[in-house]
Amino acid sequence: MGRLDGKVALIMGATRAGNMGQAIARRFIDEGATVVVSGRGREGLDAFAAETGATALPCDVRRRAEIETLADAVVARHGGLDIAVNAAATGALAPFEEETEEQVDEMLSIIFKGGLFFMQAMVGRMKRPVGRGGSIITVSSAVADIMSENHCSYMGAKAGLNHMTRFVAYEYGRHGIRANILSPGLTITPMLGAYDVPGMAEAYAREYPLGRIGTVDDVANAALFMAGDECFMTGETFHVTGGLTLRRNPTSAEIMASIAAAGAA
């Protein structure tokens, strides 16, 4: 018997093979949930659905009307909505004085506005007596709480998203809705792209008390607890970082030195 038997879950941001959204979706499927995956990329969603049996429904998180249509479709197909995970993200990073208006707009559009639109649609279908309550999980980042170079707009957008999630927890608990924040540290995912080079992970791992950086499976395991009925928590931040927030992220100079050392080895 699975821990999520009978639950209907929507995972936003599950378009790329091996990303956090897909890892969470797989974990939920393994535990018996009926899963709908969404995001902007149709091809990746369809491939994942064909492999796992999930339902693929594309949606642009930046478009409020599309999210409302998506939420209605999930309820119409599956009779309700119990779990909603927003793992949509973008990673356009730059030094503070060089951040462009386009980069800032992208951060705000996908992370902040998209997060707001997503939660508005989810509470509208979950709140009692229209719905049956449920769990909303915002996938954020440790840098919403600790510093990291060249991440200013990303950090700000994630911090704002976190505060909105806490508001939802405060406002909608009486409707049986829990809203929590899942904040990973550096995790090797497709979004990391060109930054995934020898030596970089080692630079970060030296700052993690548990001695390694996180995996998408670490994130999925935390999401499973947050999604289940045994989670008597709301408005909380789960730092899935191996203790990184006890220390700090490495500086750019330290990362470059680690990459150089790996190249020389």
Q: Select which of 154, 172, 204, 208 is catalytic.
A: 154
**170 contacts 224 by C-beta, under 8 angstroms:** no
One digit per residue, pLDDT tens: the chain, 265 residues? 899 999 999 999 999 999 999 999 999 999 999 999 999 989 999 999 999 999 999 999 999 999 999 999 999 999 999 999 999 988 778 899 999 999 999 999 999 999 999 999 999 999 999 999 999 999 999 999 999 999 899 999 999 999 999 999 999 999 999 999 999 999 988 766 655 788 888 999 999 999 999 999 999 999 999 999 999 999 999 999 999 999 999 999 999 999 999 888 6
User: Is residue 154 annotated as a catalytic residue, yes or no?
Assistant: yes
Task: Please tell me the pTM assigned to this model.
Answer: 0.95
Domain-wise residue ranges, the chain? 8-193+213-247
Domain 8-193+213-247: which topology? Rossmann fold (3.40.50)
Report the distance separating Cα 180 and Cα 164, nearest Å: 10
